[in-house]
């Protein structure tokens, strides 16, 4: 029996409206102690906002977080996989797309989120898969840290 991404995903995904500000987003990330928010517009997931997005598109560009809109700094398009996706296939998508956070959908609706760290610490089988992927494909620096720490 193969494990599906829905078996390891976090089900309580925190979302933020696209028209909210970067300050609102930072406050939410701090309150929930999380590193990303799924951006929604009219209830539909349209992007993701990560700590890295905040650093690159607000802090380093010296933008005002109280007026900068989430929709202007989020990463898009939103890369997702279906809940029934095998863990290995989800890891492949993350490596190929160079992302550490992967939203999960079920029947067209957001149902969860999985991170590279979640996959790396989930079980020894996943470690083997990540090790093989990291040897076959060059991981960007931000992913390599997780791979080096958990996968070695």
Q: What is the mean pLDDT of residues 15-31?
A: 98
pTM summary value: 0.80
Confidence of residue 62 (pLDDT cuts 50, 70, 90): very high
- How many whole angstroms from its chain centre is CA 15? 12
Residue found by looking up tokens 């090790």 in the block: 131
Please, what's the largest Cα pairwise distance for the chain? Answer: 50
Domains along the sequence of the chain with CATH:
5-151 (3.10.580.10)
- The DSSP letter of residue 89 is H
pLDDT in tens, 64-99: 999 999 999 999 999 999 999 998 899 999 999 999
Residue found by looking up tokens 């560009």 in the block: 61
- Please choose, from the candidates 72, 60, 95, the residue with its C-alpha nearest in 3D space to the C-alpha of residue 22: 72
Those residues with Cβ within 8 angstroms of residue 10's Cβ, 6 or more apart along the chain or in another chain: 112, 113, 114, 118
């Amino acid at each position: 029996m193969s494990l599906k991404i829905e078996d390891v995903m976090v089900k309580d995904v925190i979302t933020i409206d696209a028209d909210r500000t970067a300050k609102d987003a930072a406050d939410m990330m701090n309150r929930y102690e999380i590193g990303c928010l799924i951006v929604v517009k009219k209830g539909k997931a349209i992007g993701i906002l990560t700590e890295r997005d905040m650093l690159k598109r607000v802090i380093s560009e010296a933008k005002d977080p109280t007026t900068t809109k989430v929709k202007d700094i989020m990463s898009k398009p939103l890369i997702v996989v279906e809940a029934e996706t095998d863990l290995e296939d989800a890891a492949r998508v993350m490596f190929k797309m160079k992302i550490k956070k992967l939203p999960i959908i079920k029947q067209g609706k957001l149902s969860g989120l999985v991170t590279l760290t979640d996959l790396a610490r989930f079980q020894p089988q996943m470690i083997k898969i990540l090790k093989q992927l990291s040897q076959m494909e060059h991981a960007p620096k931000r992913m390599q840290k997780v791979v080096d720490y958990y996968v070695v």
